Structure 1
């Protein structure tokens, strides 16, 4: 079988390496392992951005019928990523600050940074500015579930908190604690 690209049902273009059977196995050669892991990281982050997926779990490699089937499995060559290899890939992603273990103190679930927290901070501030929300207190719900779809729709609260923290350090936002939840106020640059 020739290594070819493949378009998934969701419209994502899988690279040709995805049709190579060894790509799905944790390789014993350190150089090959590092190369394949880097390819997996790029593939996972690109797919997550394409589908707006924020979390990856080791269980996604163990079960069928989840959002990650198109990437973690290749039915055409009868291969799938083994959970232990996915856990390794996720660990490298965390080391490279391309993901964070979520919840903390475990290694089987990560929040993906297909946009780095710094990029989310800029997106958040641009959104607040363009929608006229400067100097207005907004709940986290107002940001993650706005009446009109935005780039921030469905962003995990943990990632939103990181982005707000970055904006707070540059005096472009203030975290507000309230009895019924958390909020944020944005300031101009």
Structure 2
């Protein structure tokens, strides 16, 4: 089979390397493995952005039909990424601050940063400005599950907290205690 791009059922365009069988196995040559790992990192982050996926688990490499199946398997060449290989890729992503283990203190599940927390902070503040939410107190649920879908829909709370903390350092947000938990107030940019 010649190397070729392929469009998945979700509309994601897989790069031609995805049809190269050695792409799915760890390479003995460290330089080659670094190249393969970097290609996997790019593939994982672009696919996560395409599908708005935030959580990647080692089990996704073992589970047919997972949200990640379109990239972790290639049935056309009878290949799949093994959990140990995925674990090593995730470790490399962690070293580059492109994922964070979530929950902390384990190594089987990560929060994928297809946008860095600093970028999410800007998306969050821009959303608050555009939707007229400045100086209003919102629950995290108001942000992650808005009445009108937004770029923040389904953002995991740990990532939302990081973005709020980044805005807090620049005086553009503050955490507010509310009955039943916490809320956030967004403030105008300081001049």
Which TM-score band applies after superposition, normalised by the shorter structure? over 0.9
Q: String of CA shifts for 1:30-52, please: whole Å, max 9, x gaps.
A: 10110000000000010010000
Q: Which residue of 1 aligns with 2:33?
A: 33
Aligned partner of residue 174 in structure 1, secondary structure:
strand
Aligned residues: 189
Q: CA RMSD in A?
A: 0.6
Q: Which residue of 2 aligns with 1:110?
A: 110
Q: Which residue of 2 aligns with 1:5?
A: 5
Aligned partner of residue 110 in structure 2, secondary structure:
strand
Q: How far has the Cα of 1:175 moved from its partner?
A: 1.0
Report matched runs for 1:29-178 at 5 Å.
29-178=29-178
Q: How far has the Cα of 1:69 moved from its partner?
A: 0.7
Aligned partner of residue 43 in structure 1, secondary structure:
helix
Measure the CA separation in 1 of the matches of 2:130 and 2:24.
44
> Which segment drifts farther, 177-186 or 57-66?
177-186
Aligned partner of residue 182 in structure 1, secondary structure:
strand
Measure the CA separation in 1 of the matches of 2:177 and 2:2.
57
Measure the CA separation in 2 of the matches of 1:34 and 1:181.
44
Aligned partner of residue 142 in structure 1, secondary structure:
helix
Q: How far has the Cα of 1:179 moved from its partner?
A: 3.6
Measure the CA separation in 1 of the matches of 2:179 and 2:35.
49
Runs of 5+ unmatched residues, structure 1: none
Q: String of CA shifts for 1:144-186, please: whole Å, max 9, x gaps.
A: 1110011100000000000000000000000112341211000
Q: Which residue of 2 aligns with 1:181?
A: 181
Runs of 5+ unmatched residues, structure 2: none
Measure the CA separation in 1 of the matches of 2:52 and 2:25.
26
